[in-house]
Every structure is written in C-alpha cells, then in structure tokens.
Chain A
Amino acid sequence: MDRRLTAYLLRRVALAGVMLFGLVCMTFVIANVAPNDPAALAAGPDAGRSQIEQARRDYGLDRPLPEQFWRYVSGLARGELGRSIATGRSVGQDLARYFPATLELCLLAMLIGLSVGVPLGVLSALMKDRWVDHLTRIFAVSGIALPPFWFGLLLQLTFATALGWLPTSGRLSVMTEPPDPITGLLLTDALLRGQWGVFGEGLSYILLPAIVLSFPCLASILRVNRAEMVEALRADYVMSAQAHGVNPWRIVCVHALRNAMLPTLAIIGLRWGWMMSSTVLVETVFDWPGIGLYAVSSAIAGDFKPVMGVTLIIGLNFMAANLIVDLLYGVLDPRLREG
C-alpha cells in the first residue's frame, strides 16, 4: 500500500473519531441544555418531586456539568446508556435485543433498492428523454415524496386486508417459534438451521416493510445511476468501444456501468443512515420490533434515555457507513488521495 493511500485512510479514520466525539457531546447537550429539568427527564413522566430529587442524586445531576460530562463519556465507553423506565432494562440490553430486527429490515431494503434501482437507472439513461425516462423520473421523485407511513398503510390495505396475500404487521406469527439465534437476523438464522417454513413465513412478514423502507433509497440510487450512466455513455471510451464494434450489451454493462457504480456507492453510504432513521416511521406502521419502534414508543412515554441510545446508534451507523464508503473510495479512486 502506498504512503499516500495510508495517509488518506488514517486522516479519514481520525476525522470519524472526532465526529464521534462530537456526536457524544451533542447528545449530552440535548439532554442537559433542554429547557426541561434533566432529572425530571431521567425520573420519567410520572415521578413526584422526591423521586426527581432522588434521580438527581442517583444520576449525579447535582454535580457540576464538566464532571457530569466526564461521567457520561466514561459510562458510554463502558457501554452504559442508562436505564429505560418503560422496560426496566438497561438501554444497552434493549438495543442489543431490538437492533438485529432493524438491521435485517435495512439490509433487505438496501438489497431491494440496489437490485431495482440500478437496472431502472440504466434503462432510464438508455431511454433518455423518452417516456420511460419521464415515467421513472416521476417514480423517483415519488420515492422521496411519498410519506412512508402512508405508503405502508396503503400496502397493508391492499396486500394484507384486501388481497390477503401477506400478513399485516409483526415479525412472525405469535404461534411460530423463532429459530434459536445465531446471528440475530431471523431469516439468516432460519436458513442456517434449515427451518424453511419459518424462513418463508419471516419473508412474508418482512416483505412489505422492506419495500416501504427501500423506496426512497431506490429512488435515490435510480437517479444517481441514471445521471452517471448518461455521462458515461457520452464518454470517449464508450465511443471508442463502439467504433471497435464491441457488443452494445458489453459496452453498457461493463464499460459504462462500472464507472457509474462508484457514485452509486457513495449514495449507499449516505442512504444507510437515512434508512435507519426512517425505521422510526416504518416500524411504527408495521409493528416491527426494532430500534425505530423502541425510540418512538419511548419518546411518546417521555422515556428519555432510550431515545438518546437510539440516536447514538443511528448516528454511529451513519458515520460508519460514510467512513466505509470514504475508505473504499480511497482504494478505488486514486485521485481522491490527494486532498
């Protein structure tokens, strides 16, 4: 590995570290500078005055702010995120329990987004300014404009209620025994244990929420891929390949698409975090037992610590995805190592 690449990678990782510290600072500020009394937030919505004072002492909220901040940061370093009032468990435990469901949903949604968005983007670029292109454009803007919660309700009404093809909500029927966890991802676990029935059932439950979640991401991938393909198809190397009589399929799929995929990669990194944040809406509609639903039900109940925990987790995912993309970019595109 050459020195410039190493320097680029190190700089990116260091920057991510700084951002992570900033994120921790920000959650601390939200919790402490908010007009509400942090002790009242920590004690929960139904706490009396003495309970609030108790919480103030228990959580060290009567100490000076710098000391509180130190305790907060060192607690986070040990994985302590506080306690959820509603579930009575530590937020860390809750997150470990709910995160795999969200991860599974997002992974499938990303898969749908890529496998539909890329071909549509290519098609739309090949049919530039024809009706297919106009149609995909409206489709793509719809991906951003369609309220996910309403789209979810529409799909439920159509495919669950009217047609009866798919279940309305949840992750598995209450009668079905989930597979013993290996990865925590239900579909993968069912496959690894060879439980095909459970796999099929899990798939029928995850399909609608994954489609809803994938839609904005799909639209974004489609548009970037289209713009990049239009650009690539005009490039000199494509013209020269055409002049050499290379098979048109090969030109589109190999020469042009390979160059168009790099910006698509950047979009995946950006979209991963946004997708996780949309789970608060999609999981609420589909009663999907992930961190999004956990954050919303906690926020409504005035249970503050879980909301902060989910904010940290999603922020972390967002940063990690961007970091990975930046690093991959550095490896794939030597021009970036300069700056």
Chain B
Amino acid sequence: MGRKFRLALWLLSRSFASMLGIALVVSIVTLALIGPWIVPYPDHVAGGIDLANKLQPPSAAHWFGTDEVGLDILTRVIIGARVSLLVGVAITLSAAAIGVPLGILAGLLGGPVREAIMRLTDLFLSVPGLVLAIALVAALGAGIVNAMIALILVWWPGYVRLAESKALSIRSEPYIEAARVAGASTARILWRHVLPNSLSPLIVKMSMDIGQAILAVASLGFLGLGARPPTPEWGAMISIARGYLPEWWWYAIFPGAFIYAAVLGFNLLGDGLRDILDPKSNRG
C-alpha cells in the first residue's frame, strides 16, 4: 500500500493539471473548514443589514466589495464554500450509498433482480438530471433541502451503472470462483473482493461528482429553486447579483469564480486520479 501510494503521488505530481486540481481542492476544503474563524466580518455570516455600506466596490476594507444590503462579499463567499462543499459531499455520498449496493447486487445476482434494478436505472438516466431535478423541485417546493433531495434522486443511477458493470466483470474472475469454492459467503465475497476491486473507478467518479453536485446546487440556486437568501450559497448570490449588473459587477463575479474554481478542482483531481487508478477506462 505504501509503495503504491507513493507511486500514485509521484504520478500525480508529474501532471500539471492534477496538481492544479489538488491545489484547488485543498484550498476550498481549507476555506470550508476554517472559514468561520478567518472571515473579516463574522457577523455578516447569518445575514443582517448595513445599508450605509451597500454596494461598495472592492477596497482594502472589503476585498470583494459589498452586496445590496451592505454585507461583505468575501465573508459570504468563504462561508459559501462551507455550504457548497457540505451539500456537494452529502449529495455524492448519499447517491453512492443508494447506488453502489444496488449495482453490486444487480451485477452479482443477475436474473430478474438485475433486470428490475437496471431498467429502473435506465429510466432515471433517460432524462437529463437537471431537468428532472427541476421537475422534482417544482413538485416538492423550492429550497436547499428539497434541491438536495431532488439531486440525490437524480444522481444515484449513475452509481448503479458503474457498480453493476464492475461487479459483472469481477463476477467471472477466477479469484471470485476460488473464494466461492473455498466456501466464502456472498456477503464476504461482496465485502472483501467485489467492493475493493470496484473502488478505483468509484473514487474517480465521486471526485468528479462532488464538483458536478456543487455546480448543480449552484445552478438551482441561481434559478431561484435552491438555496434562498440570506443563506450564503454561491448560485443564489449570483441570482440576486444579476439584478445589479453591469454597474455592480463584483457582486456576481466573485461567487461565480469560486464555483468555477471548486468544480474545476474536483474535476481535474478526478481526471488525474483516473489516469492513475483506472487507465483503461473510457474518457467520455
């Protein structure tokens, strides 16, 4: 493990794109972790009003300027990292927690169980996720929790597909046969053999999906269907900031730049990891 890990690190460090990805992800995660203790205006986190300072351009006191009620945009954007990262990770983990067991079951058991699971998966994948999420949010009602539920509901099928194809290809491997002949239980085979061998593509997909989930939440926030102000969510901030363009440009620019950086980081990282962990996979 130690050797392999060092080799992976060395391979990663040779790629500029992967290093950029790691740098971006580490920065965003650090901001999210220590955000509340480093923001310049901690009392602007939960909202509030300071109309005397509204819509100030970037300055020494307010690096990213202030918004329409006088809140410091740098503070709000840093706290936004916490919101976005939390939501992105929660969506990805929940989707994987639903999709992976179903996929492994489908791949391993085959027969009618597989048919049922895979047809349901195909069905969910037959409509682009964003549209399905909007339809679900329209039914459930706007808000960040409902946006999360909607995105989990459209996200799990991807994990079923991945886990199923992995389990299917592993099922016929000699070492599974050997384990079965040796009398290992199905649960043990799943846990000890199938899961570890499906891990690499899973890690790659999860890294990319955290980025895509952050983008999807921001998209719903931008459309007015996700987080609502005063929640400091990047997409929701841009949604309001749009009304203040072009004069007060900084209001929309900074939250958007953070979305871009976060999503780019997770995608470059996933991309780099794929080259190392899963070199044979298709690069769609």
Binding site for B on A (CB under 8 A): 19, 22-23, 25-27, 30-31, 34-36, 41, 134, 137-138, 141-142, 144-150, 153-154, 156-157, 161-162, 220, 223-224, 227, 267, 270, 273-274, 276-278, 280-281, 284-285, 295-296, 298-300, 302, 304, 307-308, 310-311, 314-315, 318-319
B218-235 vs A, Cβ < 8 Å mask (1 yes, 0 no): 110011110000000001
Q: Is B31 an interface residue (CB 8 A)?
A: no
Asked whether, in the complex, the Cβ of B238 is within 8 Å of the Cβ of A149, the reply is yes
- Bound complex: CA of A270 vs CA of B218, how far in Å? 23
Q: A280-B131, A281-B223 are in contact. List 15 more A-B contacts (CB 8 A).
A: A19-B122, A23-B123, A25-B123, A30-B136, A145-B267, A147-B215, A147-B263, A153-B256, A277-B128, A280-B223, A281-B219, A281-B222, A295-B131, A311-B135, A315-B128
Residues of A within 8 A of B268 (CB): 138, 141
Residues of B within 8 A of A35 (CB): 140
Surface stretch bound by A, among B4-12, B172-180, B241-249: B241-249
Asked whether, in the complex, the Cβ of B238 is within 8 Å of the Cβ of A153, the reply is yes
Asked whether, in the complex, the Cβ of A299 is within 8 Å of the Cβ of B223, the reply is yes
- Bound complex: CA of A300 vs CA of B141, how far in Å? 9
Asked whether, in the complex, the Cβ of B17 is within 8 Å of the Cβ of A277, the reply is no
Distance to closest chain B CB from A311 (angstroms): 5
Report which of A156, A308, A310, A318 forms a contact with B126, defined as CB distance below 8 A: A318
Asked whether, in the complex, the Cβ of A157 is within 8 Å of the Cβ of B245, the reply is yes
Binding site for A on B (CB under 8 A): 16-17, 20, 119, 122-124, 126-132, 134-142, 211-212, 215, 218-219, 222-225, 235, 238, 242, 245-246, 249, 252-253, 256-257, 259-260, 263-264, 267-268, 271, 282-284
Asked whether, in the complex, the Cβ of A296 is within 8 Å of the Cβ of B246, the reply is no
- Bound complex: CA of A134 vs CA of B134, how far in Å? 36
- Bound complex: CA of A224 vs CA of B218, how far in Å? 27
Q: Which of A19, A147, A278, A314 has the most CB of B within 10 A?
A: A147
Can you report 7 A-B residue pairs in the complex whose CB atoms are below 8 A from each other?
A: A137-B271, A142-B264, A145-B260, A153-B245, A162-B246, A220-B284, A280-B134
Asked whether, in the complex, the Cβ of A22 is within 8 Å of the Cβ of B134, the reply is no
**Whose C-beta in chain A lies nearest to the C-beta of B255?**
A150
Asked whether, in the complex, the Cβ of B225 is within 8 Å of the Cβ of A300, the reply is yes
> Known contacts A147-B215, A299-B134; is A223 also within 8 Å of B283 by CB?
yes
Residues of A within 8 A of B129 (CB): 277
Asked whether, in the complex, the Cβ of B131 is within 8 Å of the Cβ of A315, the reply is yes
**Whose C-beta in chain A lies nearest to the C-beta of B16?**
A134
**Whose C-beta in chain B lies nearest to the C-beta of A275?**
B128
Interface of B is mostly: helix
Residues of B within 8 A of A311 (CB): 127, 131-132, 134-135
> Known contacts A141-B264, A157-B249; is A299 also within 8 Å of B137 by CB?
yes
- Bound complex: CA of A267 vs CA of B282, how far in Å? 12
Asked whether, in the complex, the Cβ of A307 is within 8 Å of the Cβ of B264, the reply is no
Distance to closest chain B CB from A189 (angstroms): 27
Residues of A within 8 A of B20 (CB): 138
> Known contacts A30-B136, A147-B259; is A36 also within 8 Å of B141 by CB?
yes
Q: Which of B128, B238, B260, B283 has the most CB of A within 10 A?
A: B128
Asked whether, in the complex, the Cβ of A315 is within 8 Å of the Cβ of B127, the reply is yes
**Whose C-beta in chain A lies nearest to the C-beta of B129?**
A277
Distance to closest chain B CB from A22 (angstroms): 4
**Whose C-beta in chain B lies nearest to the C-beta of A310?**
B131
> Known contacts A137-B17, A153-B245; is A314 also within 8 Å of B127 by CB?
yes
- Bound complex: CA of A26 vs CA of B235, how far in Å? 28
- Bound complex: CA of A319 vs CA of B264, how far in Å? 29
Distance to closest chain A CB from B131 (angstroms): 4
Asked whether, in the complex, the Cβ of A296 is within 8 Å of the Cβ of B134, the reply is yes
> Known contacts A27-B135, A150-B238; is A161 also within 8 Å of B123 by CB?
no
Distance to closest chain B CB from A290 (angstroms): 13
Report which of A145, A223, A307 forms a contact with B135, defined as CB distance below 8 A: A307
Residues of A within 8 A of B267 (CB): 141, 144-145
- Bound complex: CA of A25 vs CA of B242, how far in Å? 37
Residues of B within 8 A of A41 (CB): 139
Asked whether, in the complex, the Cβ of A30 is within 8 Å of the Cβ of B139, the reply is yes
Distance to closest chain B CB from A168 (angstroms): 9
